Chain A
């Protein structure tokens, strides 16, 4: 193993160029460690985003050697097989500066997909009793661990082609709520995800599935939404759709 690693890092905003750095190698070094070393020891003007450093907050995602990844849990050994790293901001998001992206569109789409809980009870009502082996509970559980990192959004070609497309994370969130027995917003939610920019725009390329750091499968969540919206359309329940 070489004592150093050559890293080229995107500098600028939408317009910019890659700048090269040489960073000392460390055992068990992550890509986030490399970026942090550059910012603290070589160029303090480098901008990037991180918080927890342990794969919980979802704020440190970047494009590493052409693939979107969570950098805090991506070991250099795994991705820099030829001793070089290229680190760029996430695709499909506006670049604020260097490696930091504007995430507003991404989170707004969670809202547009009705990815919020519509309560049906008050604090005076009893709990819902949902068994662990309940089918809908299992379907919700399969997608619930999303950390909102934007990796799936950056990996998705449909987002690139259609800027209005809600994207894998928002549709996955909607699917978990469609399966939530306590939620009462499915009519409005299915109408929200049934439009041209919704679940039926997915081309099933599964870039989201391949890259999700939590090993979720948004494509299958989207397939579930396709089935449910089709059923709702036959029942005439999508009248509220735009």
Chain B
């Protein structure tokens, strides 16, 4: 996929990351509620899922989820900085720092989980 030249700049990619992470988190929510609902069915059902959640594949999915959460959070902070601090430089710094924090958060989670 080739992005149009006029869109190929950090602020556009920050916009895409914020929008995509929001949509993916919204899609994840039903799965989250389904797992919580397993507790109503009984402890054994929930424990069965939780033991699957300890597998490496589940950890990778979980790491991706943490990165999405961190990216969406820092994306929101970026917008607040843009709207309330209001300088060209602070916006650029917010993109770089926000992306860095999201990736680092995911890595820390992955390292703690292994």
Contacts and interface: CB of A to CB of B under 8 A. Distances in A.
Given A203-B15, A223-B82, A68 B6 contact: yes
A94 interface: no
Contact of B6 (A155, A203, A219, A220): A155
A157 interface: yes
Q: Which of A206, A211, A217, A226 has the most chain B CB atoms closer than 10 A to its own CB?
A: A206
Nearest to A86: B5
A179 B79 CA distance: 23
Interface in B9-32: 9, 11-12, 15
B83 A206 contact: no
A4 interface: no
A224 B11 CA distance: 18
Interface residues of B, number: 16
A180 B91 CA distance: 25
A93 to B, nearest CB: 14
Nearest to B87: A220
A217 B11 contact: no
A204 interface: yes
A66 B6 contact: yes
Q: Which of A67, A91, A224 has the most chain B CB atoms closer than 10 A to its own CB?
A: A67
